[in-house]
With several copies, the nearest count.
Chain A
Amino acid sequence: MPMIARTLDDALSAIADGCLLAVPRESTGVGMAATRALIRRGIKRLSLVALPTSSLQADLLIGAGCVETLETSAVSLGEFGLAPRFTAAVMAGTIRMKDATCPALHAAFQASEKGVPFMPLRGLIGSDVLDHRPDWVVMNNPFGNNDPIVLLPAIKPDVTLFHAPMADRAGNIWIGRQRELVTMAHASAKTVVTVEKIHEGNLLDDPQLAAGTLPGFYVESVAVVERGCWPLPLPEHYPWDGEHLKEYAKLAATEEGFASYLERYVYERAAA
């Protein structure tokens, strides 16, 4: 049964150095407060997989030296420009990059969700994305005729981490229409969630709420962290903090600036 943790750090204890950590795209509910707590804890050697893209979260973790391998389809700050620490790390060769494409990541999580070793995907053939993925296989579609198709091995994260609008005391999480969060939880050994608030009553008892609920059965631990996505958005709750992201983009352009960002916004607990 899920633990409703007393502190954020307690909830994050399932996320160990060196684990395969799955995180969602920026518009789905990124656990930014949790990410800052992991950096403060000094987490190391993460294999980070962002389904299917990331922004500030990957950039922060990379800049803080927490990431060994990154699998994703893109990292960018969107209208605030390139992700500076990601860009610098790839160019310096300090992280191992597994470039993917969005539907390949969705399919590989679904393979794990379904307990199958792989999933097929169209596209990809003739791309350098495929050429740089020795772990992907091209085979002939046995239902076709001289019809090559790519098979993607299942991605089985140790932990999925995200932020959601609410949980109940049984650890059920309301995720609304952000259904990749359900697939991520199914695909992962453990799922750690931060939420804006606790919902009194059982989410599964209300048919309307149940339709958008990840059952607590899949959840390892939950912590309440208001504005847990900040400065990223939580859909239908709060938008990007554009001013902050502008500041981040400016500071993170240099290592020194990034260090001062960490000092001010990550290590300074009051700001978390």
Chain B
Amino acid sequence: MNAPPPEAKKDFRDEELLASVIADLIGDARHVAVGNASPIPALASLLARERGKGTPYVSLLGSPKHTFFTDGGRELFDCAGQGRIDVFFLSGGEIDGEGNVNLVSIGEYEHPTARFPGSFGSSYLYYVVPKVILFRTEHSKRTLVPRVSFISAPGGSPDNVHRTGGPVGLITNRCFFSFDRQRKRFKLASIHPGHTLAEVIVNTGFEFDRPPDVPETRAPSPETLRLMRETVAPELAEVYPQFAARVFGIGKSA
């Protein structure tokens, strides 16, 4: 309804669109935790909190000011194990069509052809956080692959494996895929304004489901844009000053 007509000039930035989609996904969560170096998920989470008048509680890891943790580095994971983190974000050097993420290496594990930093907390959090939102701005056959070289954390597990969490979807710079946990497959849910189905198909290395007509990703409403720009962006600037300056022009004169 609010979507601009096709080919209309966008009155929002890509980052704002992605944050808006993510904020909708967060829904009525009580606690969202955002990993280090994740400005768009952080923007989305603060937007969700603003809309929810303080709910969800948002923890921005790496920012002592925006986390309540006082029990050391384990508290995040203990908190997730207690069922007290509802939404988390993961990315991956590679992500495949079953929702497996690879944060370790490409090629043989003992003789890799590329090495990433490592799995961080993914091999645990992916299992115990109900809504994990996969996030990879680079949408290419290099990143979205048929099968990851190394599974840092699998997209799904057999029924008898304790699993209270997993992927709800994957957002890229081109589109949003929802994830069907039963079928262990992504489904193309919407294509971002300015992008095309053909472009998504040719740049995706894994197979995915799609409806006969793929909707366009809903653009952020004027009210959402206003909230993001006027209220959320200044808060975000305390944690991500460079991002806030680039996207929102905040603090540029400072």
**Taking the complex as a whole, does A directly touch B, i.e. does some CB pair lie under 8 Å apart?**
yes
CB within 8 Å of B: which A1-51 residues: 1, 24-25, 27-28, 51
Residues in chain B near residue A75, CB distance under 8 A = 117-118
In the bound assembly, the distance between CA atoms of A53 and B31 in angstroms comes to: 24
Contacts A91-B115, A113-B82 hold; do A106 and B73 have CB atoms under 8 A apart?
Answer: yes
Q: Mark B91-125, 1 if CB is under 8 A from A, else 0.
A: 00000000000011100011111111111111111
Interface centre among B72, B126, B151, B157 (most CB of A within 10 A): B72
- Please tell me if the beta carbons of B123 and A129 are within 8 angstroms of each other in the complex: yes
What secondary structure prevails in chain A residues at the interface with B? mixed
In the bound assembly, the distance between CA atoms of A149 and B163 in angstroms comes to: 11
Contacts A101-B122, A101-B124, A123-B124 hold; do A128 and B151 have CB atoms under 8 A apart?
Answer: yes
Q: Does chain A have a CB within 8 A of B78?
A: yes
- Please tell me if the beta carbons of B123 and A87 are within 8 angstroms of each other in the complex: no
- Please tell me if the beta carbons of B117 and A235 are within 8 angstroms of each other in the complex: no
**Contacting chain B: which of A212-220, A224-232, A247-255, A256-264?**
A212-220
**Contacting chain A: which of B4-12, B63-71, B201-209?**
B63-71
- Please tell me if the beta carbons of B104 and A99 are within 8 angstroms of each other in the complex: yes
In the bound assembly, the distance between CA atoms of A66 and B141 in angstroms comes to: 38
- Please tell me if the beta carbons of A103 and B124 are within 8 angstroms of each other in the complex: yes
Q: Mark B48-79, 1 if CB is under 8 A from A, else 0.
A: 00000010010000101000111111110111
- Please tell me if the beta carbons of A214 and B162 are within 8 angstroms of each other in the complex: no
What secondary structure prevails in chain B residues at the interface with A? loop
Contact of B69 among A53, A187, A215 (CB under 8 A): A215
Shortest Cβ gap from B137 to chain A (Å): 15
- Please tell me if the beta carbons of B77 and A215 are within 8 angstroms of each other in the complex: no
- Please tell me if the beta carbons of B68 and A215 are within 8 angstroms of each other in the complex: yes
Contact of B153 among A74, A110, A127, A235 (CB under 8 A): A127
Chain A residues within CB distance 8 Å of chain B: 1, 24-25, 27-28, 51-53, 72-76, 78-79, 82-83, 86-87, 90-91, 93, 99-104, 106-107, 110, 112-116, 121-130, 132, 144, 146-149, 172, 177-183, 186-187, 204, 210-211, 213-218, 235-236
- Taking A122-B162, A183-B72 as known contacts, 6 extra A-B pairs with beta carbons closer than 8 A to each other, sorted by chain A number, are A78-B36, A106-B73, A115-B128, A129-B152, A181-B72, A183-B74
